[in-house]
Amino acid sequence: MNRIIEKEYFSENVVKLVVEAPEVARARKAGHFVIVRCGEGGERIPLTIADADASKGTVTLVVQAVGVSTRKICALGVGDTLTDLVGPLGRATDICLHNGTVVCCGGGVGVAPLLPIIKAMKEAGNRVISVLAARNKDLIILEDQVREYSDEVIIMTDDGSAGRQGLVTAGVEEVIQRENVAEVVAIGPAIMMKFVALLTKKYNIPTMVSLNTIMVDGTGMCGACRVKVGGKTRFVCVDGPEFDAHQVDFDEMMMRMKAYN
């Protein structure tokens, strides 16, 4: 059992939970995820670790209520427990010191798995510019934490209620046109990552995406997270969740994701 010690609502359907998990907190790295269950016989839910505090023995998870299981998790309060929390799983992010700027762009709840990457990129000595995007200002999450580890933060909203009106690609291209961008990291909805990848391919900028949104089982056994990367079949939960954006077949991925809607 893993006890919840903090809970915060980002919006009606998005909740931040700080959970006791000392061994996971000590071992996790940027890019890792965990599997959680709520209740005996509950569904296995993969969640990327948004943050961890090894000294306190806690991990931070951001959960969006989209189905029965995630709604149960979001309904838990401080003092309640998760039945299981297993991890860290997946391959850690390859964090390098670049001769140039790293642009980290996140859409909606994709900012949660992006945050530890932003932090690790900055601690490695990179100049980090973060581009956060959402439909409106109420869906921008973790802005203060992102600002703490970024040299600059650009906010883009569809309706212009925060930052500038426009898509995430507009913010990314603005940075590309004014400075030397060595790498782009994009995490968010599949359609967002696809268009960021198309943009950066035009400029020949290495780009990494996290495909955690398609994971189901988290161990590679169910096969639901298989994607084509460079023409070969890969399983997001065991081979990723991060891949070269320019090699991912986003159209096939989005077509397969419709099966779970």
Helix (H, G, I), strand (E, B) or coil at 146: helix
CATH architecture of 2-89: Beta Barrel (2.40)
Q: Which helix (H) or strand (E) segment is 43 a member of?
A: none
Q: Which among 186, 176, 194, 199 has a CA at the least distance from the CA of 253?
A: 194
152-157 and 127-134 strand pairing: parallel
The two three-digit tokens of residue 146, written as one number: 């992102």
pLDDT for 129 beyond 80: yes
Residue extents of the structural domains in the chain: 2-89, 101-260
| Confidence class for position 127, pLDDT limits 50, 70, 90 | very high
pLDDT per residue as tens digits for the range 152-208: 999 999 888 888 888 999 999 999 999 999 999 999 988 999 999 999 999 999 999
CATH architecture of 101-260: 3-Layer(aba) Sandwich (3.40)
Measured in degrees and rounded to the nearest 5, phi and psi for residue 149 equal -115, 10
Matching residue, tokens 């709520």: 38
pLDDT for 226 beyond 60: yes
CA distance 185 to 125: 16
pLDDT per residue as tens digits for the range 144-155: 999 999 999 999
Measured in degrees and rounded to the nearest 5, phi and psi for residue 157 equal -130, 145
pLDDT per residue as tens digits for the range 80-103: 989 889 888 888 888 888 888 999
Percent of the chain past pLDDT 70, that is, above it, reads: 94
The two three-digit tokens of residue 155, written as one number: 């906010």
pLDDT reported for residue 182: 94
Q: Which among 145, 199, 135 has a CA at the least distance from the CA of 8?
A: 145
